[in-house]
C-alpha cells in the first residue's frame, strides 16, 4: 500500500520556457524568490519564496524542468 502518490509535473505556463526561470534576491532583506521572468513587465510571475536550496529543487521538479 502506497501512502504517497507522485504528482504529475505541472505544465510550464504558456509563453515561458525553462530558460526564463530566474532567482531574484532582495537587496534589503536578502529574501530570495524564484519564478518565470517576464522581460516585457520586468518582473517574476508565478513566483515562490525560496528559503533553502531544497525549495529551488522543488520548483524545478514541480514544473518538470532539469536543473
pLDDT at residue number 8: 73
Would residue 12 count as lying in a domain? no
pLDDT at residue number 1: 54
pLDDT at residue number 52: 95
pLDDT at residue number 67: 82
Select from 35, 13, 41, 31 the least CA-distant residue to 23: 35
Digits of tens for pLDDT over the chain (67 positions)?
556 666 677 888 899 999 999 999 999 999 999 999 999 999 999 999 999 999 999 999 999 998 8
Would residue 42 count as lying in a domain? yes
Would residue 51 count as lying in a domain? yes
CA dihedral sign of residues 62, 63, 66, 67: negative
Tell me the C-alpha distance between 2 and 41, whole Å.
44
Domain that holds residue 42: 18-62
pLDDT at residue number 2: 59
Would residue 2 count as lying in a domain? no
Tell me the C-alpha distance between 38 and 58, whole Å.
21
Amino acid at each position: 500500500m502506497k501512502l504517497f502518490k507522485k504528482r504529475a509535473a505541472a505544465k510550464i505556463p504558456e509563453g515561458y520556457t525553462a530558460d526564463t526561470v530566474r532567482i531574484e534576491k532582495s537587496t534589503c532583506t536578502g529574501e530570495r524568490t524564484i519564478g518565470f521572468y517576464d522581460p516585457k513587465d520586468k518582473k517574476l510571475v508565478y513566483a515562490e519564496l525560496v528559503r533553502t536550496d531544497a525549495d529551488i529543487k522543488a520548483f524545478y521538479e514541480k514544473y518538470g524542468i532539469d536543473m
